[in-house]
Amino acid sequence: MRATAGEERRPFCQLRSTDLVKRHKPPLFVLIALVAGLAGGLLIASSLEWTPVSAGRSKPDSLSQNSSPSAARALAGQLSDLFESAADKVSVSVVPIFSEQEVQVASPFGSPEDPFRDFFGDDFFKHFFGQIPQGDQKQTVRGLGSGVIVSSDGFILTNNHVVDGAEKLTVVMSDQKKYSARVIGTDPQTDVAVIKIEAKNLPAVTLGNSDNVKVGQWVIAVGNPFQLLHTVTAGIISAKGRSNVGLADYEDFIQTDASINPGNSGGALADLDGNVIGINTAISSPSGGNVGIGFAIPVNMARNVMDQLMKQGKITRGYLALMPQDIDENLAKALRLKRTEGALVGDVTPDGPADRGGIKRGDFITTFNGEQVKNSTALRNLVAQTAPGTSVKISLLRDGRELQVKVILGERPRGRGGREQQPEAQQPEAQTSKKLGLTIQNLTPDIAQQLGYQREHGVMVTEVAPGSPAEEAGLQQGDLIKEINRVAVTSARDFNRMLASLRNGESVALLVRRGQNTFYVALQLP
């Protein structure tokens, strides 16, 4: 289930000065592409690059139709010319960004109150190590990432994690001229940032349209891996619309097999026309090195954030105030839906924009303002990229009927939401369904008050048997089951009566509340 519009998280990896810190997400680790090195040591940069294929390019004649050696050489030469032209066009506009930040580092000799220093005395340590630093010391952590010049007057697009926490930023141009940079704005929720240098007549990139890229397209990635400035690598677009990677709150990554390494973060992913279609951000790797799985922020998403940061220095996002979720074939069957592509409304905030526009729990959203909604992540991204106050048309399915509603978007709250931790709910009066491997009980006033469910109805799940249909469906202890097949459940007896009326093998749609989130679960009756 995708996070709700009110639920946010900050999954970025922290950076350490001496090693690459990997985010554990079995079986692979997601590596943020910015790595810092201690002062005086080797300066290691981290970043990622992806190379998408140029959209709309005509397909070359196959070698089988014209297979002479001269024709093959000519075709290879034409392809080489395309790569060379794209590299020349993009490389001059991708710059290294050097960052510096002071951090507190514990003294290896301990504090003045350390018992070992009390025992041996400072003279003992001075004899072997010289002057002893007192207490924690400040050290400068340096990092290297990449950025893309987007305007001739010095605006540069990069990743938030490239500049986050930096006290000093330096940009080096291709002619080795150095500029101090200031941060215009950052957006950790997309990992996008904009910085500015005071310069004129700079070579700005051409921003393309990431919606038009195709899987299999050739692309180039340009950046500064391991201080090897202006490095160009090539590959293809491996996939589009990657989400749940764990890097940002809003994810719609382009995946590429172009070689990405530490130092490429914030660099360009471009098509063979030299149009930037993505901002390289991260790699997925079990070892910290490139294994051909990299992620880039689509330039359309980055451009939307960049424009807001440049104009107003902050980000505002549209807001529906509902809980969207994806569905699989079992849940679609239980809800009598003929498709799984879309977003199911698990819950609607009372008096929120969606509620005022007529959207109800159980609606299945298929389009948003004319754009097809593939899943809950796509809906969330579409809403976020639309300005608050915009009137949008939303197509949906309700009880087998196609409807269209108009909703005026609100502004997404700035606070970060979270899920309540579920205390164990155990009561002696419990009823067990051995068939489902599920134990339930009535929602008593005491439990309702404890969990904040005073105005709710349903039955509480007090136990889920390992390996049971209930566990396979994802039910957990503490869940509140509110509906079966869109019919309200008011008691444990009610729940068992409804189950008894269903046939073996039938798919059942349960409406479940867990903490602050409400969503549907499909359960297959044995």
Is residue 307 classed exposed, middle or buried when 0-12, 13-18 and 19+ CB atoms within 10 A define those classes? exposed
Instruction: Note if 161 is an active site residue.
Output: yes
Q: Is 64 a catalytic residue?
A: no
For residue 262, whether the previous peptide bond is cis, meaning omega lies within 30 degrees of 0, is no
Identified catalytic residue from 187, 191, 249, 257: 191
**Secondary structure (H, E, C), 173-215:** CCCCCEEEEEEEEEECCCCEEEEEECCCCCCCCEECCHHHCCC
Question: Which of 44, 99, 98, 26 lies closest to 289, judged by CA?
Answer: 44
CA-CA-CA-CA torsion sign (245, 246, 250, 253):
negative
d(CA 365, CA 375): 9
Q: 71 vs 53, 59, 76, 263, 347, CA distance in Å?
A: 23, 15, 9, 39, 61
Whether the Cβ atoms of residue 81 and residue 245 lie closer than 8 Å to each other: no
Q: What is the DSSP letter of 222?
A: E
Indicate which residue of 93, 265, 395, 433 is catalytic: 265
Rounded Cα distance between 241 and 52, Å, is 13
Residue 114 bears catalytic tag: no
425, 451 Cβ separation under 8 angstroms: yes
Query: Catalytic residue among 17, 161, 326, 395, which?
Result: 161
Q: How far apart are CA 60 and CA 107, in angstroms?
A: 63
CA atoms within 13 A on the CB side of 212: 12
Q: How far apart are CA 45 and CA 144, in angstroms?
A: 4
Type and span of the H or E element at 446: helix 445-451
Q: Distance (Å, rounded) from C-alpha 383 to C-alpha 355?
A: 15
Contacts (Cβ under 8 Å, ≥6 apart) of 96: 45, 144, 145, 146, 147, 171, 172, 224, 227, 229, 263
Q: Which residue numbers are catalytic?
A: 161, 191, 265
